[in-house]
Amino acid sequence: MNAHYVFALTALLGVAANAPSTAHAQTCNAVVQSDDALRYTPESIEVPSTCKDFTVTLTHSGRLPVLAMGHNWVLAKKADMTGVARTGMLAGAANQYVDPTDRRVIAHTNVIGGGQASSVSFPVSALQSGETYAFFCTFAGHSPVMQGTLVLK
């Protein structure tokens, strides 16, 4: 190898190693884990304002079936959480515990049981800067414990 080639290759590798990670800056998705102990991990999500759409994938690492310990992921303004959870319970399992006419719901996954996953994508333009958003499970009785926050950054 000649010295010019080695110098060029070294310079190129140095630039690449010090370049900012575009994958981190452009992360327009999140994976939220749930389990049989009524938890979400993580409990907070930051959505970059540069994303056009944002996708959340809910996983269930528990063993119990959907009828015994089903979970969904529902997004609404924090102020609307209690009302959305109430109408969701009334909507029942056939509607994924989400009232299909409830305009306060920004996005939601299907209800899943142990070993399953469900994803939902929503336009970031549906979020407002400075607003407080909550994500929560609307399966009967879960929303008081299973909840987290989502912020637009």
Domain 24-152: give its CATH superfamily.
Cupredoxins -  blue copper proteins (2.60.40.420)
| Mean pLDDT calculated for residue range 84-109 | 97
pTM of the model: 0.83
Q: What is the pLDDT of residue 9?
A: 32
* Structure tokens, 29: 């998705």
- In the chain, the percentage of residues whose pLDDT exceeds 70 is 83
Helix (H, G, I), strand (E, B) or coil at 109: coil
Distance CA 141, CA 120 (A): 22
| Partner residues linked to 134 by β-bridges | 76, 149
In eight-state DSSP terms, residue 42 is: S
DSSP 3-43: HHHHHHHHHHHHHHHHS--HHHHT--EEEEEE-TTS-EESS
- Would you kindly state where each structural domain of the chain is located, as residue ranges? 24-152
Q: What are phi and psi of 41, to 5 degrees?
A: -135, 120
pLDDT digits (tens, 9 = 90+) for 105-140: 999 999 999 999 999 999 999 999 999 999 999 999
Distance CA 149, CA 132 (A): 7
Whether cis (ω within 30° of 0) applies to the bond prior to 144 is: no
Distance CA 56, CA 111 (A): 14
